[in-house]
Structure formats: structure tokens, C-alpha cells
A and B are shown apart, each in its own frame.
Chain A
Amino acid sequence: GAVVSQHPSRVICKSGTSVKIECRSLDFQATTMFWYRQFPKQSLMLMATSNEGSKATYEQGVEKDKFLINHASLTLSTLTVTSAHPEDSSFYICSADPGGFSYNSPLHFGNGTRLTVT
């Protein structure tokens, strides 16, 4: 089945530093990937849609200059949290769309990255 790999699984950083999270589709190509954020005991909230070769589309209230997204290839999207603050501590999850008008094309999710900003 389709596998999405997310790295790192956990990261602790100091306030003011930047952190990069990678999302890779291992056995399929994904023109579109999605980035979600999840706070404790809450559901996933879409942050942005990442499109290969073009600028990401951010949801309302998500700062594009703070959460930099790069989707340079069909198998890799990165999310960089710049100048991280403690309130950015959260669980970040990516997903990738195997694509096509196919009956069997559910989104596949990475295992998430737990970010703690101290």
C-alpha cells in the first residue's frame, strides 16, 4: 500500500530557532500534499495545501511566513517552522494524495511530528 514517511517523529527546539519537517511519499508520486496541525485532545486542522512546483495555499489564520512550505519534487514536501515559539508546540501531520480520479485513492498520512518548543 501507499506509504508516507514523515521525519523527524519528535523534535525539541529552543524558542527562536527554526525546525524543518520532511514528508515523503515512498512508493507513489504526489502532486499535492497537505499539512495538518493537531493540538492535544483536538482534531486535525488543515494548515496548508502543498503543490509541486508552485506556491502553497494556506488556510485562513495560518502565517505563510512562519510556516514555510516547499514542494520541490513529486515525492517530497517540507514544512519549516521559523522562529518557533512555545505556542507552536503541536503535532504536525502530512498527507499525500496518490492522485487521479480513482475510486481507490484515499489520502495517506504520515505518522506525524511532535514538536516541542522550549
Chain B
Amino acid sequence: DAKTTQPPSMDCAEGRAANLPCNHSTISGNEYVYWYRQIHSQGPQYIIHGLKNNETNEMASLIITEDRKSSTLILPHATLRDTAVYYCIVRVDNYGQNFVFGPGTRLSVLP
């Protein structure tokens, strides 16, 4: 699986958009970009994933650059409950493929 790089930490003001970047310059054509988050002492929570088109769901938006070498997760109106470690992972969307977790980005939403 391709390696991803993320900033170790970020702050965001409550109510503002949180934009979390991820670089995956060695991504291959059949690898998807997944985002998960982990709130303290809980299991990772699925947020969103995509291949090459931008995606949006009730939690977030995922913007993938045209060359697919980087992406940005956008939380449009961050709340205190969004404080967590956010993981960007690339993985082939085949059955039985595990996720390789990097260190992620620790997002702190400030009041």
C-alpha cells in the first residue's frame, strides 16, 4: 500500500472549516483514499473514501487532486466533538486488504 504523509497536528476554531491535508504521491491507479478518525480510547470511525472524484457525505467532503497525489478532508463546521486523530490511508479496494495506519493528524478544535 502507498505511504501517506500528514501533518502531526492542527488546530481549528469551533464553527470554522477544518481542512486536513494528506500527501500520497506514490498512489497507484487502483488505490482508494480512505479517511478515518479515532477519538480517544475508541476504535477508528470511518469518515469517507474516494478514488478520483470529489466526494461528500453527511460528515465531510473529500477533495482529491487531479493527479491523485494529494487529498484534503474538509469538516465544514468543526465542533469540539471533532477533536480526534485523523488518518488518511490508501488501499486497494479488494476484499481482504488490511489498512496500514500512519501516525495521522491530531486535530484540536478550540472553543
**Residues of chain A at the chain B interface (Cβ within 8 Å):** 4, 6, 31-32, 34, 36, 42-46, 49, 51, 91, 93, 95, 97, 99-103, 105-112, 114
Contact = CB atoms under 8 A, between A and B. Distances in A.
A103 B94 CA distance: 9
Q: Which of B36, B45, B94, B99 has the most CB of A within 10 A?
A: B99
Interface size class of B (residues with CB under 8 A): 20 to 34
B44 A109 contact: yes
Nearest to B97: A97
B103 interface: yes
Contacts, number: 62
7 pairs of A and B residues whose beta carbons are closest in the complex: A109-B43, A44-B101, A43-B101, A111-B43, A32-B96, A109-B44, A106-B46
A103 B93 contact: yes
A114 B44 CA distance: 14
B96 A100 contact: no
Contacts of A46: 98, 100
